[in-house]
Structure 1
Amino acid sequence: MAFGITREQVDAWKQKIDQGEIAFLTHYWYDERFPNAKTVTKVGCKDLNKLIQWGKRYGLKKEWIHHRNEGYSHFDLLGEYEQRILKEEGLLQSTTLLRKK
């Protein structure tokens, strides 16, 4: 279950994807299968080959991509993967508030 994001944030994420960028969207999240995960970061790109190559840099497998018919296929980053990748991408600062709550 996703929460803590606005329609404008989702639309901005989709717009970046549509433009062929690697786009990040972090939001609060709860799934009983992952009780320690408080947030998830979705990383998407319209160009699946670009997304696959981006993921390889971080040890992500192409099989982990959530393929979406509407064109917003993405990786879901959780836990240590999420923290490490956001830090390496220089985006951890922008999600610090999410982590403290």
Structure 2
Amino acid sequence: MAFGIKKKELLAWKKQIDNGEIAFLTHYWLDDRFPESKTVTKVGCSDMEKLIKWGQNYGLKKEWIHKRKDGYSHFDLLGNIQKEILNKEGIIIKL
């Protein structure tokens, strides 16, 4: 279950994706499959090759992309991988 995200933030993330940029969206998230994770970062891009290449830089496999018909396909980053990648990207999350 996702929560703690504002409509403005979601629309800005989608706009970046639509513009072919690598876009980051972090929000609170609860899922019984991942009890240790309280947040998730979705990293998307409308240019699938660009997204795949970005992910490869961090050891992410293209098979891990959550492919969506609405055009907002993305990687879901959780736990230590989430922290490591956001740190390397220079992103400080404020949750």
Following superposition, the deviation at residue 40 of structure 1 comes to 0.1
Stretches of structure 2 lacking an aligned partner (at least 5 in a row): none
- What is the correspondence of 1:7-26 to structure 2 with a 5 Å cutoff? 7-26=7-26
**How far does the alpha carbon of each residue in 1:14-52 deviate from its partner, in whole angstroms, 9 at most, with x for none?**
000000000000000000000010100000000000000
Stretches of structure 1 lacking an aligned partner (at least 5 in a row): none
Aligned counterparts of 2:3 and 2:23: Cα–Cα separation in 1: 18
**Moved segments of 4+, more than 3 Å:** none
Aligned counterparts of 1:33 and 1:71: Cα–Cα separation in 2: 26
- Output the aligned Cα RMSD: 0.5
Percent identity reads: 65
User: Aligned AA for 1:14?
Assistant: K
User: Aligned AA for 1:34?
Assistant: F
User: What's the TM-score once normalised by structure 2's chain length?
Assistant: 0.98
Show the counterpart of 1:65.
65
User: Aligned AA for 1:2?
Assistant: A
The alignment covers a number of residue pairs equal to 95
- Find the residue that maps to 1:63 and give its secondary structure: helix
Q: Where is the helix percentage greater, Structure 1 or Structure 2? A: 1
- Find the residue that maps to 1:81 and give its secondary structure: helix
Show the counterpart of 2:76.
76
Aligned counterparts of 2:6 and 2:70: Cα–Cα separation in 1: 19
User: What's the TM-score once normalised by structure 1's chain length?
Assistant: 0.93
